[in-house]
Structure 1
Amino acid sequence: MKILLVCLGNICRSPMAEGVFRQLAHERGLDWKIDSAGTADYHIGEAPDRRARQVSSEAGVSIENLRGRQVEKADFDHFDWILALDRANLRELQSLAGAQHSARIGLLLDPFLEGKEPAEVADPYWGNIEEFRACRAKIQRAAEKFIERAG
């Protein structure tokens, strides 16, 4: 399985999600390809936000080597799943994808995963470290549910 996790700038939520999914796939012996990207080009080539790196490290996951990249047209045929962290980025992905693509596109916290109304993972960029911890915890729960159903 190939999964792309997407937020706006690819320096906070999606790199944390990439780290979580990689860790869980490794722990479960799943040969999955996990990547992350942003819909915007604000942080191409940059390392994840220091707070995202800190909370990931606290959970035993290093995202130090990740670098921001922007979603590309080829991603829509390369990945099985493209999961947005919020509705604005989901709409942008749907617009970028066009009519012909093979990827399933959705929200990370959709009803398939959470069993309730679609929810978003709020962007912690303007917040404090506690907001990053809460964000990572929400991603962790969603990733575990995704892997339970898809793995």
Structure 2
Amino acid sequence: MSNRILFVCLGNICRSPSAEAVVRQMAAARGLDLSLDSAGTGPWHVGEPPYAPMQRAARARGYDLSAQRARMVSAEDFGRFDLIVAMDPDNLRDLEQMRPAAGGAALALFAGYAPNIGTDTVPDPYYTRDFGGTLDIVEACAAGLLDQL
């Protein structure tokens, strides 16, 4: 069982903090004890809270992102986590390139846990502006991930 899971997107201000919050809440409702975190592959927003429109959309569904702060994936994360989940194939490629020679955490696409959504990508609402649509996909992927744990 993967007890330690890291969610990864580009800047760690929309998709991955949302995935962390959604999985955290759904796992608690199922009585699962997981260690969760999120990070980005890029440095643009390190130390910043999640994007305000993403926070508002998440809050409207009962998810609180306000305590999270963006950080970058580190080499140590590959040893600290059992599973690192990427929001899109570009993030997955970046993670594969960052992976230490010793390996470590398993890598997966978040959308792979919800094959019925018809895409391998959790769309980035920073660009699409569809925060609700992204949360729909995140919730479907979160449920699928937890079903597999």
Flag whether TM exceeds 0.5 (same fold). yes
| Counterpart residue number, 2:123 | 122
Unaligned runs of at least 5 residues, structure 1: none
| Counterpart residue number, 2:143 | 144
**Amino acid in the other structure paired with 1:42:** W
Q: So what's the TM-score if we normalise by structure 2?
A: 0.93
1:125 is paired with a residue whose SS is helix
Identity, % of aligned pairs? 38
Using the alignment, how far apart are the partners of 2:136 and 2:122 within structure 1?
10
Deviation at residue 118 of structure 1 after TM alignment: 5.9
**Amino acid in the other structure paired with 1:30:** L
Q: How many residues are matched?
A: 146
RMSD between aligned residues:
1.3
* Equivalent residues in 2 for 1:73-112, closer than 5 Å: 73-110=75-112
2:126 is paired with a residue whose SS is coil
1:43 to 42, 45, 48: 45
* Equivalent residues in 2 for 1:56-75, closer than 5 Å: 56-75=58-77
Deviation at residue 100 of structure 1 after TM alignment: 1.4
Using the alignment, how far apart are the partners of 1:118 and 1:81 within structure 2?
21
Unaligned runs of at least 5 residues, structure 2: none
| Counterpart residue number, 1:24 | 26
- Higher mean displacement: 117-126 or 33-42: 117-126
Deviation at residue 25 of structure 1 after TM alignment: 1.1
